[in-house]
Structure 1
Amino acid sequence: MKYYERTIKTEPIYEGSIFDIEKLTVELPNGKITYRDVIRNPGASVIVPITEDGHVILVKQYRKPIEEVSLEIPAGKLDHGEEPIQCAARELKEETGYAAKKLTKIMTLHPAPAFADEILHIFIATGLSLGEVCPDEDEFIHSGKYKLDEVINMIQDGTIKDAKTVAGILFVARMLETGDLKL
């Protein structure tokens, strides 16, 4: 079966500071024409900061789209021309005050491939040293240390609902369980 959709026309709908939206006219594998609304996003780096004693650093912040306070691993949008590892180091420092001796990329995710081209680059940060927190002007966040088991329990009980956090934490927990990650 053929799965490719040929783009016939691209129409810009919205240009914003975080993402753009396009309306695509596409030809389906059966020859029929349809439309796709697509969010274009430069991607982001996501960091699972883990201490030598197995604690994870999480950030708590209000998320306007869901009207809730969210507990998450640190993350941030890639700046134009920025490498994901540079973004990871920058965002870790900005959001938590921590610097990492080592950043290791563990996975790449498409969080919403049905309608967005965003790519998340997920890193483990180890060898942490605490400095000064310096969030962006529009960020009001608080960071804290949590036992990994406690974080997994918060995923299971629905306290943590953020997809990138769920994926990153469960992947790191699995790496620790299998011995692929040693602290």
Structure 2
Amino acid sequence: MTFEEKTIRSEIVYHGKLIDVRRDIVTTVDGQSSREIVEHADGVVIAALKPDGNIIMERQYRKPVEDVVFEIPAGKMDPGEEMEEAALRELREETGYTPEHIRFLTSSWPSVGFSREVLHVFLATGLHAGETDLDDNEAIDLEEHHIDELYDMVMRGELTDGKSQVAILMVKGLIDRGELDDYLE
């Protein structure tokens, strides 16, 4: 059975610096209900792959989970910014790297139950090192890990960041299908 909820009424109930929260009154199979929806800028996720099969990873403290998270470089898109432009900017700011090639892989909804956010996943290759340009409130430690190690971590449930799981699985799939043979050593 397919049922589309129709919005009867919508209002912003919280307006913040990073998110807005909207409450919609919608039709349901049983009548009406309310839905609370987080509005957040879309984001980009960048799997920066080196010829030796290493991927640039980050560790940074994430307040919502009260822990240091092991993750792929990522960030939010600025208003009016194109996906690829945002991916290049975020990669340079967080890692210092600029790629010769950038390839769109997929888009993903990380939390469809309450958020409109879409994450756009890219593969960056032909990396050239440079200086980071972190935001004032960012503290990031960079590491390199081989794609096979990262894939095993995902499959063992040790790498729990969703956006990183998607990026790693996509890149591993490209490698396993031989689509990156010309790039990897």
TM over 0.5: yes
Determine helix, strand or coil for the equivalent of 1:23. Answer: strand
User: In the alignment, which residue of structure 1 is the partner of 2:53?
Assistant: 54
What is the CA-CA distance between 1:4 and the residue it aligns to? 0.9
Residues paired across the two proteins, number? 182
SS at match of 1:95: helix
Measured after TM superposition, the shift of residue 142 of structure 1 is 1.1
**What is the letter of the counterpart of residue 41 of structure 2?**
P
Which whole-Å CA distance do the structure 1 matches of 2:124 and 2:19 have between them?
A: 27
Return the letter of the residue paired with 2:6.
R
Post-superposition shift, 1:31? 5.9
> Partners of 2:16 and 2:177 in 1: how far apart?
42
Q: Find the counterpart in structure 2 of residue 176 from structure 1.
A: 175
Stretches of structure 2 that go unaligned for 5 or more consecutive residues are none
In the alignment, which residue of structure 2 is the partner of 1:21? 21
Find the counterpart in structure 1 of residue 117 from structure 2: 118
Residue 9 of structure 1: aligned partner: 9
Structure 1 counterpart of 2:22, which letter? E
Distance, in Å, in 2 between the alignment partners of 1:131 and 1:168 is 23
Q: CA deviation at 1:171?
A: 1.1
Q: Distance in 2 between matches of 1:31 and 1:64?
A: 38
> 1:76 and 1:16 mapped to 2: Cα distance?
18
Identity score, percent: 37
Other structure's SS at 2:85 match: helix
Residue 156 of structure 1 deviates from its aligned partner by 3.1
Secondary structure of 1:149's counterpart equals helix
Give the secondary-structure state (helix, strand or coil) at the position aligned to 1:113: coil
TM-score (norm: length of structure 1): 0.95
Q: Compute the TM-score of the two structures, normalised by the length of structure 2.
A: 0.94
For 1:104 and 1:174, how far apart are their aligned partners in 2?
Answer: 14
Unpaired runs of 5+ in structure 1?
A: none
